Structure 1
Amino acid sequence: MGRPGFNCRAAPTTAYRKDAAARCNLVRACHFVRRLCSSEMPSYGLTTPASRRRTPDIKAWSGSSSVVDKSLISTSCTPVATGDNRLRVAVDVDEVLGRFVYTLNKFCKDQYDMEYGVGDYWIYEFAKIWGCSQERSNQIVHEFFRSQHFKDGIPVVPGALEALTRLSESNYELVVVTSRQHVIQDATLRWLDRHYSGLFQEVYFGNHFALEGKSQRKSDICRTIGARVLIDDNPSYALECAAAGIHVLLYDWGGAYPWSKLPPHAGAYNPDLIRVVQDWGEVERELASLAQRLRATADNT
């Protein structure tokens, strides 16, 4: 069994808000979590979903970095590996865990007779693919969020559940770091609970391309929470995080994600920090190798 659940005054900002009053026993996980739950931080939300495997504490962060007092994060909470020797790994949602573009294309075809395939997305910026303004692109995406296509659920990426289950039972602590907007925070938590229940300790939202609210860089989130590795399909995020010293597994499923290609010119990225992976089997192998190297480095310092 995992640790008992906890909640705090910020809990009504997340899903499962009806259960907030019933789950207020604080988990003494680390100094950072204790301070979060004892402070007035309305942009944080804490919740504990049901789990088929174990019952981790899930913290949903949709606030800006200014809310986080980095001095509250003790070394026992954000080292190379966690206190029980587990490496903290951040995992993206769309195109890594779920097939977002595939489902979005179905919506665009049914609603607007827009005919696109995943292979058409040479960049993960929909306005450029659809040949419209950013405002119009945002409008279509948010209509998609309200559609039955989105509510019926995004299909999972094959192999992700099995690999993440093995990783969670090994020397890894898994968290979600997504660019998804605040407006679909609750829907995202429900989707994760339905398809990846019990695997992730925390969920963080960057709020990119949102109609309102501030966005948060993935590199800032990863550094703040002590994630040493990010699994992501977007090369822009990969380069951003690598520049911050964060290891990245750039997920290019079967080599079929046009937008996931790194810049070809020399010196564009550090190959020691960014590795391209094409399936979840490769993710497992690369993480095992990386964890070994990080432990060796830590032992020598």
Structure 2
Amino acid sequence: MLIGIDIDDVLLHFTPALIEYHNHTYKTSLTYDQFKSPNFWEVWGGTKQESRKKVDDFFKTTYFRKMQPIVGAKEALFELRKKHNLVNITARPNYLETETREAINKYFPDSIQKIYLRDYYDFRKYSKRDICDSIGVDLMIEDSPYYALECLSPNRDVILFNRPWNIEVDLPKEIERINTWDEVLKIIK
């Protein structure tokens, strides 16, 4: 089976690192549970453009480069790679390709066969679903309700990690919600 796996908040603790950066840089006291929306400007205020700049600035920091793996992710990928082919499909911008490969190789060596960057800044480009369709992904593992819905198809299952920004979103029963990587392994085995 070919399994597509998102990176941020699925393999690596993106939002906690972003919160730490934002609180330090902008003297805020944001918490993880406040992130009820995937649109950061709706959480910390300001415009979409200001939010994009904050995130771009975050990408240049050690907060971003030192993101840690989510509990159980390393072990789960080690198990999954024994029987399945694993690829990353991320919405990260293309200019982060090097940093993305370095982080994946550091924390998940020999687990991921290829990394696809969808570049959420350029909506004229192909979608995550387009990537899944073109390479034949059988299962997509996500944290975004938008991408989970986009990737779901009669030929593809989707597993969604419960996160504050998706927990209140009504989704079709075909999208299986989970909380841990152990739950992912139980579903796939």
Q: Which of 168, 177, 183 is matched with 1:282 structurally? A: 183
* Counterpart check, 1:221 vs 2:131: yes
Q: 1:244, CA displacement in angstroms?
A: 6.3
Q: Following the alignment from structure 1 to structure 2, what is the Cα–Cα distance between the partners of residues 166 and 104? A: 29
Query: What is residue 101 of structure 2 aligned with on the other side?
Result: 189
Aligned residue number for residue 37 of structure 2:
123
Q: Tell me how far 1:246 sits from its aligned partner.
A: 2.1
2:15 is paired with a residue whose SS is helix
Instruction: Return the TM-score normalized by structure 1.
Output: 0.60
- How far the C-alpha of 1:115 sits from its partner, in A, is 1.8
Aligned partners of 1:219 and 1:244 also within 8 Å: no
The corresponding residue for 1:59 is: none
Aligned-pair distance for 1:243? 4.5
Q: Provide the secondary structure at the position in 2 that maps to 1:198.
A: coil
Alpha-carbon offset, residue 235 of structure 1: 1.1
For 1:235 and 1:259, the matched residues in 2 are separated by 8
Please, which moves more after superposition, 199-208 or 113-122?
Answer: 113-122
Q: Which of 167, 176, 184 does residue 261 from structure 1 map onto?
A: 167
Deviation at 1:130, TM superposition (A): 1.4
2:88 is equivalent to residue 176 of structure 1: yes
Judged with a 3 Å threshold, the aligned counterparts in structure 2 of structure 1 residues 136 and 104 are, in CA distance, closer, same or farther, namely same
| Equivalent position SS for 2:160 | strand
Q: Give 2:112's match in structure 1, choosing from 178, 191, 200.
A: 200
Instruction: Look up the equivalent residue of 1:95 and give its one-letter code.
Output: D
The alpha-carbon deviation at position 249 of structure 1 amounts to: 0.5
2:62 aligned with 1:161: no
Q: Which amino acid is 1:234 matched to?
A: S
The C-alpha deviation readout for 1:71-111, integer Å capped at 9, x for no partner, is: xxxxxxxxxxxxxxxx0000010111000010011111111
If you compute each CA radius of gyration, which structure gives the higher value, 1 or 2?
Answer: 1
- Structure 2 counterparts to residues 1-301 of structure 1, below 5 A: 87-151=1-65, 153-169=66-82, 171-208=83-120, 210=121, 214-243=124-153, 245-252=155-162, 257-261=163-167, 263-264=169-170, 268-269=171-172, 271=173, 273-288=174-189
When normalised by structure 2's length, the TM-score is: 0.94
In structure 1, distance between residues paired with 2:169 and 2:148: 11
Q: What is the CA–CA distance in structure 1 between the aligned matches of 2:138 and 2:110, rounded to whole Å?
A: 21
Structure 1 distance, partners of 2:97, 2:19, is 21
Unaligned runs of 5+ in 2: none
Question: Unmatched 5+ residue regions in structure 1?
Answer: 1-86, 289-301
Over aligned residues, Cα RMSD in angstroms?
A: 1.6
Q: Structure with the greater relative contact order (CA < 8 A, sep ≥ 6): 1 or 2?
A: 2
Letter in 2 for 1:154: M
CA deviation profile, 1:103-137 (whole Å, cap 9, x unmatched): 01111111111221111110111111112111000
Q: Over residues 203-262 of structure 1, what are the superposed CA-to-partner deviations in whole Å (9 max), with x where a residue is unaligned?
A: 001100x3x68543111111111101000011111111114642100012xxxx211226
